[in-house]
Amino acid sequence: MKRRRTGIAIGAIVIVAAAVAIAGVCLGWFRASNQNDSPGAEENRSKATATPSAVTPTESGNDTETKQFKNENEYSLLTGAMLPLSDRRVPKDMLRAETPDFTKAKEGGLTVTWFGHSASLVQLGTVNILIDPVFGDRTSPVSFVGPKRFAERPVTLESLPDIDVLLLSHDHFDHMEEQTIRAIADRVKRYVVPLCVDDILISWGIPAERITALGWWEETTIDGVTYAITPSQHNSGRGLSGANATLWGGVFFRDGAHSVYYTGDGGYYDVFTRVYDRYGAPDLMLVECGQYDPGWAMTHMFPEQSAQAAVDVHAKWVIPVHWGAYCLNNSAWDDPIIRVTSAAEEKQVNLATPRIGQTVDYDEIAIYREWWWEGYD
């Protein structure tokens, strides 16, 4: 009996350790930047300096000596003790999703549909721009463990419209899902990604000629929409090796009528002021708001910092993302939206809070301010 209990205890420890390891892979715990190279890292990261770029290594975040992308500032991945585990990390019931209406797109208009977490479809005029599409049951390198989706999917992959441009902010599993990207590849015209993320797409069978990879502050124009990759304070990687071999960032994109700034993942610093200085005030800001913790305080923004980032960039309207579908940290699932709503009110930020799947016409964005999350435990 004692051996059996010992075996059960060891098995439980192994399962917990595996879950922690997978969460660490998803969040980038095993890829701290600005540290000495580990054995074999140079071979894994050699692609980082092999990709041509018009920007300098300092601007692009690419250190040519270590062959590793780095943040602009001194950066520590792990910064302290983690929050205690909340007993409300996921809601008791699945979050319900609305049915999108992609027909709202019109010339000169702007619509946005948030699918949960960071996945969104922005329609600039009639140009369909899909951002960080993740729709799986788990945001994890394996299907049987890892953060599980607690929100309904508002769309099937088949019901998505044809995509003119697919934007990726970085290569983490909760932003770049192989199954989804492969499934819709025949209906995506072009891809815009940070440097070296194109190598992953090519390995998945995406033709290189359909991909544009950019360094920080580089731009490209496709079908009348200009896209710029902006810096963020984060990290990258999809495994236990190859530390930061691909770049990460946000995306500022605009046509002649509207502009949108998606922050991507990252900690708070002066980049938002500099984005404003370069591009002006975005009509719509999709701001990261979720998966934060004192244990990695420089890697993700806390909700109050998300509101301040909106102030810094002078955003006309803001929709918080990176919450509402998966929980990768220890906080309650609704902590991000409760705190950012309060901070936005205090800082006089125009915050819209659409339900998952609702298609928001920018001309009517002021009506999407319902506190719908209060209907869930």
In one-letter notation, the amino acid at residue 39 is P
Number of domains in the chain: 1
**pLDDT band at 67, cuts 50/70/90?**
low
> Over 70: is that where the pLDDT of 22 sits?
no
Residue 46 lies in a domain: no
pLDDT at 54 over 70: no
Average pLDDT over residues 269-293: 98
Residue 254 lies in a domain: yes
How far is the C-alpha of 122 from the C-alpha of 359, rounded, in Å? 9
Express each pLDDT in 229-248 by its tens digit. 999 999 999 976 668 999 99
The pLDDT confidence band at residue 3, using thresholds 50, 70 and 90, is very low
For a pLDDT cut of 90, what percent of the chain falls above it?
78
Banded pLDDT at 53 (limits 50, 70, 90): very low
- Domain assignment of residue 340, yes or no: yes
Residue 243: predicted pLDDT: 80
pLDDT of 39 reads: 29
Does 9 score more than 60 pLDDT?
A: no
DSSP letter for each residue of 311-342: HHTT-SEEEEESBSS---SSS-TTHHHHHHHH
pLDDT at position 61 is: 52
The tokens for 147 are 């953060």
Residue with token string 């990207």: 181
Angle between helices 335-347 and 303-312 (to 10 degrees): 40
pLDDT of 146 reads 80
DSSP letter at 143 equals S
pLDDT band, very low/low/confident/very high, at 144 (cuts 50, 70, 90): low
The whole-number average pLDDT for the span 282-299 is 98
**287, 319 Cβ separation under 8 angstroms:** yes
| pLDDT exceeds cutoff 70 at 196 | yes
Average pLDDT over residues 276-296: 98
Q: What is the pLDDT of residue 140?
A: 74
Average of pLDDT values for 32-39?
31
Q: Assess contact for 311 and 271: CB atoms under 8 A.
A: no
Residue 296, pLDDT score: 98
Residue 142, pLDDT score: 67
Q: Is the pLDDT of residue 46 over 70?
A: no
Grouping H, G, I as helix, E, B as strand and the rest as coil, residue 286 is strand
Domain assignment of residue 367, yes or no = yes
Contacts of 252 (CB under 8 A, 6+ apart): 227, 228, 230, 259, 260, 261, 262, 275, 278, 279, 282
Confidence of residue 143 (pLDDT cuts 50, 70, 90): low
Answer yes or no: is 74 within a domain. no
Question: Is residue 139 within 8 Å of 82, Cβ to Cβ?
Answer: no
In a domain, 267, yes or no: yes
pLDDT tier for residue 203 given thresholds of 50, 70 and 90: very high
Tell me the residue range of the domain where 156 lies. 102-375
- Say if 315 falls within a structural domain: yes
Mean pLDDT (the chain) is: 87
Cα separation of 237 and 255, whole Å? 32
Three-state DSSP class for residue 190: strand
Q: What pLDDT does 38 receive? A: 29
Of 64, 71, 88, 99, give the one whose Cα is nearest residue 264.
Answer: 71
- Residue 90 domain flag: no
- Which value, in Å, is the radius of gyration of the alpha carbons in the chain? 20
pLDDT of residue 8: 41
Between CA 58 and CA 366 the distance in angstroms is 40
pLDDT digits (tens, 9 = 90+) for 78-129: 999 999 999 999 999 999 999 999 999 999 999 999 999 999 999 999 999 9
Q: Which of 289, 358, 282, 369 is nearest to 111 (CA)?
A: 358
State the helix-helix crossing angle for 271-279 and 303-312, rounded to 10 degrees: 30
Q: Report the CATH number that the domain containing residue 251 is assigned in CATH.
A: 3.60.15.10
CB 271 within 8 A of CB 261: no
Instruction: Indicate the range of 30-34, 170-174, 267-271 predicted with least confidence.
Output: 30-34
CA–CA separation, 175 and 132 (whole Å) = 5
Is 44 within 8 Å of 246 (Cβ atoms)? Answer: no
The pLDDT confidence band at residue 141, using thresholds 50, 70 and 90, is: confident
